[in-house]
Amino acid sequence: MALVTGGTRGIGAASAEALKQQGYRVAVTYKSNEQSAKEFSERTGIPAFQFDVSNLEHCAQEVKKIAEACGPIEVLVNNAGITRDAMLHRMTAAHWHDVLQTNLTSCFNMCWSVLPAMRERGFGRIINIGSINGQTGQLGQTSYAAAKAGMHGFTLALAREGAARGITVNMIAPGYIETDMVRAVAPEVLAQIRSRIPVGRLGRAEEIGRAVVFLASDEASFITGSTLTINGGQHMF
């Protein structure tokens, strides 16, 4: 089965639905937005589990519960993420900590919780959702960019550790995708961002979902330690 963190909205929700369409049994997690979780589960039939991915103890407990309820976790999508934007000289230590814990430490927490069973079965797919802003940096996002760039190093190291056990670990680095996170950006800033995207539009969550399905599939079994950049040409390297 496939587990998608932060899967009740945005990119996570689209990824969970795409995986379900491919025949996976799927479960998602969320933090506190009950309304979105309820709507998502009613619409898709995918169960949603509430816990904070920044808390190791909760992750370990809930992963055990999810595996008991839905079956062994073969695919983990580390998607849950937040922004708390501010220029560094105005950023609070609490916001720095929240962003690092939710975007990066969560990857440790979730992988630590699922890896022993994946190693035992000799199969696993871990897909981390990074960001263009972890590749380029962004004003007001020292915390977010550090977390997403950290996720890149985490992906490479864990890919090496998992390779001999049939576990692939890859990252997707989306550009700007139309979700609640991006809808919170001021319209004039968003217009500027759009003007810098060669394809002339924001991405759609479904476009990331399809890449998640690919990286989870047997066709991607020789791909590990990779970053798939999906940004409409905004950042090429």
228, two tokens: 């798939």
CA 60, CA 200: separation in Å to the nearest integer?
A: 42
CA 67, CA 49: separation in Å to the nearest integer?
A: 12
Q: Between 10 and 218, name the residue whose CB sits nearer to ligand NDP.
A: 10
DSSP state of 201: S
Is residue 15 within 8 A of residue 79, CB to CB? The reply is: yes
Judged by CB under 6 A, does residue 3 bind ligand NDP?
Answer: no
Judged by CB under 6 A, does residue 136 bind ligand NDP?
Answer: no
For 218, residues 6+ apart whose C-beta sits below 8 A from its C-beta are none
Amino acid at 91: M
* Active-site annotation holds for 144: yes
Q: Between 24 and 30, name the residue whose CB sits nearer to ligand NDP.
A: 30
Judged by CB under 6 A, does residue 109 bind ligand NDP?
Answer: no
Q: Between 31 and 119, name the residue whose CB sits nearer to ligand NDP.
A: 31
CA 142, CA 62: separation in Å to the nearest integer?
A: 31
**Residues of this chain, 14-33, that bind ligand NDP according to CB under 6 A:** 29-33
Judged by CB under 6 A, does residue 235 bind ligand NDP?
Answer: no
DSSP state of 101: I
Judged by CB under 6 A, does residue 10 bind ligand NDP?
Answer: yes
Name the site residues for ligand NDP (rule: CB under 6 A).
Answer: 5-6, 8-12, 29-33, 36, 52-54, 79-82, 102, 129, 131-132, 174, 176-177, 179-182
Which residues are designated catalytic? 144
